Structure 1
Amino acid sequence: MPDKAKIAVFISGSGTNMAALLYASRMADAAYEIVLVASNNPEAGGLSLAQAEGIETFSLPHKGMSRADHDSAMEQAVKDAGAEYIVLAGYMRILGAEFVDRWAGRMLNIHPSLLPKYKGLDTHARAIAAGDKFGGVSVHIVTPELDDGEILGQLKVAIQPGDTPEALASRVLFAEHQLYSRTLNDYVSRERDPAYLLDKVRQLALALPETHERESHGSPGWRAGSEKSGKYFAYFNDQHHGSEHIALLVKTGSMDELLGLVEAQPHAYFKPAYYGASGWIGIILNRSGVDWDHVSDWLERSWRSVAPKSATKLIDAADEF
């Protein structure tokens, strides 16, 4: 079974969404586990719940600290816990843009409205005042702009005649508890989904000059050069030849390099059947913490080993700007 994605949850209060995430993580099909609950409020009720459930906690009041210093301390706690994603669950403090940018694509938030409607506060009162038929909840990627990232999931909640913001909020909370864990599970699972991984690799490979895709022995491959005489520099391997890995195969400089990488980082590399004998290495993609910039660097390096000089000159010229 693949390793579960490691999650840090930030809270400021009772932590009901954190609790829903925690208990959902203990279902047999959960793709994530919570390794840290952190708060800017040492009195947050969710901290004691997490502690009782055996989850590591961290708390640090933000009063008297600069935003950058507090963000840095929270981030260090996340790193110390080995978390790969940050999930905001009632964290009532805006994070600095630099912090958010460092976790781009790996920080999620839940917001009590049907975004893009009603960003910010007082969402239920605003929905009722506007005469909307539905309130609701959204889970989205966190960006430096408030409540503005890609929407990953939503649930509608009917607004009833005579509703008050408090009554609507209580029903929306039920929807939050259902939506957040399922959306988070789907989001972290896609990084182990062959179709998602293939699409990521394809985008990176085809961004290289004079590159085209061609199937080889049932697997997608990418060649540099013309359709007629191009040479392969990468293959996508979806658990072929009895392997448990979904992997990108690229060319190394030597067998010594290949074997050294496999020995030093067996969680990231392996020697693939058949291809390995010719110096191709497998980069394991169906694991936590894949560095896609590193994957991109490997693709370019392998591409350079077979690409026409005219193509390498193009990319060298682009790198100068």
Structure 2
Amino acid sequence: MCQGFSARGCFAAPPSTVLLCLTLLVLTIGPVIGWRPWPQNRMNVSDYTFGDSKKFEGSSEFVKLRYHMGPVLTTNITVHTIWYGKWERNQKKIIREFINSISAVNSKQPSVSGWWRTVQLYTDQTGSNISKTVRLGEEKNDRFYSHGKSLTRLSIHSVIKSAITAKTKPLPINPRNGLYLLLTSDDVYVQDFCTSVCGFHYFTFPSLVGYTLPYAWVGNSAKLCPGQCAYPFAVPEYMGGRKPFKSPNGDVGVDGMISVIGHEMAELATNPLANAWYAGPDASFPVEIADLCEGIYGTGGGGSYTGQVLDAHDGTTYNMNGIRRKFLVQWVWNQIVNYCTGPNALDQ
């Protein structure tokens, strides 16, 4: 029944076939690993930016990003958000505006929409590009921590199931172009949070949720580990007390989340079922288009350097403009030129 299996085919198959196909997929592919925004190379930690013209944004000699024939999100992407825990109104506004800025056409350059244009370069097997349209969908609030304040990877599926099966205002079920974004407040711990991940993406299992839905989880690290997951607005202890950057929206935890959200959304669009765009020979440990640019926010970035970023009049640091706000977002890999790119690049 699953001969010539493809994730795209499973979307359209009968439920029994979908379950069998996805079961086989899960047996061979592990959860997509999340990322950490702080520098992994602990050399040269006395500076954040790099002053000369040498390029450090990846290497075409070693990176072998390939397309593995799975689906990508080519139709208009709708982001359905689950706010898990207690969130302030302004925190939600910051995140909503970042998502709305992805498709904004009149933002000042360098812009969030300019950053997404690199993601749009990726195609499926028909040659169709990632959608340029990303819009906010429905939202669900879970203020009372219905699944507790400590979540496992499997319980994340249960949170999503609760949101789409709620008796009042359930989230729409949209397997083809829906992107389900679970955001946990600063008092919620998720499995592996702060130790190895700040966010991750995967897809829900039909056996648990009833549908195959691409999702991402991102946590607010403000109380648990800002030095690990809100870098460079907070810094790890090993950096010797170096002064962090001033966050552009006055909320270290949420401004740190923005880059992780961008990271996971870019990877979900290009690799929603873990069988499309990634580097490396092992599908169990895919290296995706944002993983390749970990810690790079501007020209010259790499190792312990963010690269050349921008300073606003109020002393905050950013690298791209949204509709009304500024953001600092990690770059993504451009498979055309074979290095990391972003809208604030000095040589484009």
Q: TM-score, normalized by length of structure 2?
A: 0.29
Which is helix-richer, 1 or 2?
Answer: 1
Which is strand-richer, 1 or 2?
Answer: 1
Q: Max radius of gyration: which structure?
A: 1
